Structure 1
Amino acid sequence: MTASVPFEWPAPPASWPEALRRDFAARAGNGQVGSRLVSETERVRVWLLTLKPGERIGFHTHVLDYFWTAVTGGRARSHYGDGRIVEVSYAPGDTRHHRYERGAFMIHDLENIGDTELVFTTVEFLDSANPPLPLGGARA
């Protein structure tokens, strides 16, 4: 995919602690949506995300259509670019699908606030309306 889509990343919410605001500002546009990219083809990227209790994956940006499945159960908290802070309980097998129109995106982090390891598989579709973001890069 060679077409580029100009994204304008928002500023982090002023009500967040300084450390979160710095992480958000530095990592908006980061396309690394998991702990490890385990497979990539012309059509998909498959990610593994593992978080031990108390661990957090920093802010990352979703622009591609994708789905995630919880491999293990547990609890997590996410901070979203629109200012929401959401806590969720997961059960093994929980799955959610997301779709993004051209120019649309979502920025968030994920912190394991439970007492068990959280494991997710995420599959991104490279033929989505938006081109993929750089992996590990920020402010694309």
Structure 2
Amino acid sequence: MSKNLISIEDAKNWTKNYQDNMKSGDAKAFLISCETIVDILKEMKVLQESKGVITLHDVQSSSIRAYLAVNPKQADANGQTLVMVGTMKDSTGVERDMVEGEIDAPFNKSDLNGSGAFDFSLPCPRHCDENSPLNHK
């Protein structure tokens, strides 16, 4: 069992608290495709494929950081989106963003898939599960 699991009651209370206090039109949630998560994991070399065999490496010490952002070209959810990046620990143990322009990066630029930043612009409302106990009306 994951050490980061929370109870459904906590999840319901936390999401209700957020949704009760959000501005009109704000995003309630973001639908994140597994394909993009796999792309990030490949870029981080956590997920590796060779001759049709997929292996995982350094799962416990790897992370993905999500930045809240506003995409001015997106009409849904007041333009709110998530920008997600893989991270890599530097020699001091700090999780560093694997993105183009990272100063003194602990990775090679050739490791990046483009800039290293991925946009998740499938916000709820529009991409919601209306039956979820976490989607408060």
Structure number with the higher helix fraction is 2
Query: TM-score, normalised to structure 2's length?
Result: 0.27
Structure number with the higher strand fraction is 1
Higher RCO, 1 or 2 (CA under 8 Å, sep at least 6)?
A: 1
